[in-house]
Amino acid sequence: MTQAAHNITRLTVLGSTGSIGTSTLDVVARHPEKYQVIALTACRQDELLFEQCLRFKPRYAVLLDQAAAARLSQRITAASLKVEVLCGEQALVQVASLPEVDAVMAAIVGAAGLRPSLAAARAGKKILLANKEALVMAGRIFMDAVRQNGATLLPIDSEHNAIFQALPRDYAADMAASGVSKILLTASGGPFRDTPLAELQQVTPEQACAHPNWVMGRKISVDSASMMNKGLEVIEAHWLFNAAADDIQVVVHPQSVIHSMVQYVDGSVLAQMGNPDMRTPIAHALAYPQRIDSGVAPLDLFKVATLNFVAPDFERFPCLALAYQALRAGGTAPAVLNAANEVAVDAFLNKRISFLDIPRLINDVLAAQVSVTVDTLEDVLLADTQARAAAQEWILQ
């Protein structure tokens, strides 16, 4: 192998048609000498996946939907591309753990991303983790797999990536030993930060999906509006940085310029700043420990001019309180929280429940499910299944 070839990072992008996936490919396309795409995956967006195959010429393309996989196969054949089309969840696991793959961008939204992300950890890959659920649902199992198999874990969420950058380079999951007193997790507050509480009952899916700062998928936009997104990030931060619930403070920062901060015992607070564009954390993780151009415009501090910070309102955002509650309960409680939220958000987007029903549903499902210790992935998946069933029953009542 030549030296040039050896310096190329070979990549699997799980969820390549989503917002994180397309941003990843945008960064990759800027550095063809550094990155080679081995596999691309999507749920059912075969048209976009075909365009990506034309451009990046991966060895494998995976779709979860069978009909979409059949359509993609026909197109690949007609275009004489040397791309093998695979279908199903097992195929995701396969491309996440291929021997020739160096790094895996784990960007599948929801519980569907758990198994392939875990497979990448068990295969000792460099994992660029954008899938919250791997840590929210199965934090202990996932972190154990990372440690036991010598995998490298780099967070992609802008907040966790910011914390990672503000922590000491040699941080070894011990806040006290590193002189860290608190992790400050910033939140924009979403589109309903200042909406009168009485008006939240009438909120529509369209309003909930209109985020003031970020362009995101519908599910994550609703999570941002309810601040469940931040609650899930609190649980993620617990696992990523070995921080207790009381050591993670949410700070509402409407401008989304400071992406998060780390407070040290000597009084220092280190912040990572930048324009709200996911290509920055993606580029940071892709090139780590080096730096590469991400295509993001530099931050203009004169244009920003003012930065505001307020404490989160737990009455306005009960989902955030529920996430802290689930983290403190431990065991399968975070998996139950996540499952109930996924069902609730889907029901809200389909206008079956109101916006304010989301926390009510989650609260009732959490209260009804007994949290058990997580020893295996099966414990997590069983809790997930039971919570989804209970959430569906709640909607039908």
Q: Kindly give the pairing relationship between strand 258-264 and strand 269-273.
A: antiparallel
Q: Which residues contact 123 (CB under 8 A, 6 or more apart)?
A: 96, 97, 149, 151
Q: Quick one: which of 14, 266, 21 has its CA closest to 116?
A: 14
Token reading at 216: 């995101």
Q: Looking at residue 218, what is its pLDDT?
A: 87
Is the domain defined by 3-155 classed in CATH 3.30.2130.10?
no
User: Is-cis flag, bond preceding 289, omega within 30?
Assistant: yes
SS3 21: helix
Q: Which residues contact 370 (CB under 8 A, 6 or more apart)?
A: none
**CB of 122 within 8 A of CB of 96?**
no
pLDDT of residue 335: 96
Q: How many CB atoms lie within 10 A of CB 59?
A: 18
Read out DSSP for 295-322? SPPPP-HHHH-----B---TTT-HHHHH
What pLDDT was estimated at residue 4? 42
Contact 31, 292 (CB under 8 A): yes
The ranges assigned to domains in the chain are 3-155, 157-274+298-322, 330-397
- The helix or strand, by DSSP H or E, that contains position 222, with its residue range, turns out to be helix 218-226
Mean pLDDT for each 10-residue chunk of the chain (397 residues)? 65 96 98 98 97 98 98 98 97 98 93 92 97 91 97 97 97 96 95 92 92 75 94 97 98 95 98 96 97 97 96 95 98 97 97 97 97 94 96 96
Q: Looking at domain 330-397, does it have CATH number 3.40.228.10?
A: no
Distance CA 36, CA 57 (A): 9
DSSP 203: -
> Looking at residue 135, what is its pLDDT?
95
Burial of 64 (0-12, 13-18, 19+ CB in 10 A): middle
The pairing of beta strand 35-42 with beta strand 9-14: parallel
Using one digit for the tens of pLDDT, what is the confidence trace for 179-211? 999 999 999 998 999 999 999 999 999 999 987
pLDDT given at position 2: 37
pLDDT in the model for residue 215: 67
The pLDDT, as a whole number, for residue 395 is 97
